[in-house]
Amino acid sequence: MPQPTHRARRSRAPRRLGVMMGVLVVSASTAVAAVAVAPQFTEASTSTVSSPSSLEQVSLPPVPDPVARIKEAEPVDIEPVSVEESTALPAGSGSGRRIVFDQSDQRVWLVGDDGQVARTYAVSGSRFDNLQPGSYRVQSRNRHATAFDASGSMEYFVRFATGPNAAIGFHSVPVDNAGVLEQTKAQLGTPLSAGCVRQWKPDAIALWEFAPVGTAVVVTA
């Protein structure tokens, strides 16, 4: 009877050894699989993430300082000029009913008997220094007139001075012999004439109706 028992014990050892070897084989194969998969995962992940060297080469724009932006937006310390101040009558331009023409501003004022401005507007005076500041009077008027060099015509001519070559007066913007205006309304306020004072037609009509012969004209520098 003792002999069979001894044989049974001896027969169990190989089975245990086989189980242990199977576990070792599975563990080893799992480790190998993990090692084989790990490089694939690392390679895939690094393909979507920039390397440190590439990150160092990227230069991001600086974040603007809100305080600095506010300082840049602060207005320059310049005293504002109102519309009333920019079109105010020049100092020393006389009194009573008169026409005032300021050469530096290229502007005309029609002033009533009470000293109040009835109308003011931009004009285009002479490109040349042929009109001296001072007091004048309307000498004559012509509803239609021709340029001294016969280059065109104008309307509502109100003469008040005499220049080196011809009379000087207020009139509408001339039309050349082809029927084209010699300047635009937007160019008023700039000296463009050869001696007279050019006006846009509605303003020329207003001065014509305002200024009979003898009306005072004051020219300021």
What's the angle, vertex CA 169, arms to CA 168 and CA 173, rounded to 5? 115
Model confidence pLDDT, tens digit, residues 167-210: 999 999 999 999 999 999 999 999 999 999 999 999 999 999 99
SS3 146: strand
Of residues 127 and 76, more confidence is placed in 127
* pLDDT score at 106: 98
114-128 residues labelled b (16+ CB within 10 A) or e (exposed): eeeeeebbbbbbbee
SS3 219: strand
Fold of the 94-220 domain = L,D-transpeptidase catalytic domain-like (2.40.440)
Under DSSP, is residue 194 helix (H, G, I), strand (E, B) or coil? coil
Residue 86: per-residue pLDDT: 62
H/E stretch holding 153 reads strand 152-162
More confident residue, 125 or 13: 125
Q: Which of 143, 101, 154 shows the shortest CA–CA distance to 126?
A: 101
Q: Is the dihedral of CA 127, 128, 130, 133 positive or negative?
A: positive
Between CA 34 and CA 44 the distance in angstroms is 15
Q: Assess whether pLDDT exceeds 70 at residue 11.
A: no
What is the predicted pLDDT for the residue at 80?
A: 39
Give me the percent of the chain exceeding a pLDDT of 90.
57
3-state helix, strand, coil in the chain (%, to 5): 35, 25, 40
Residue type, 218: V
Task: Output the pLDDT for position 87.
Answer: 84
CB 204 within 8 A of CB 126: no
Residue 41 has pLDDT above 60, yes or no: no
How far is it, in rounded angstroms, from Cα 159 to Cα 197? 10
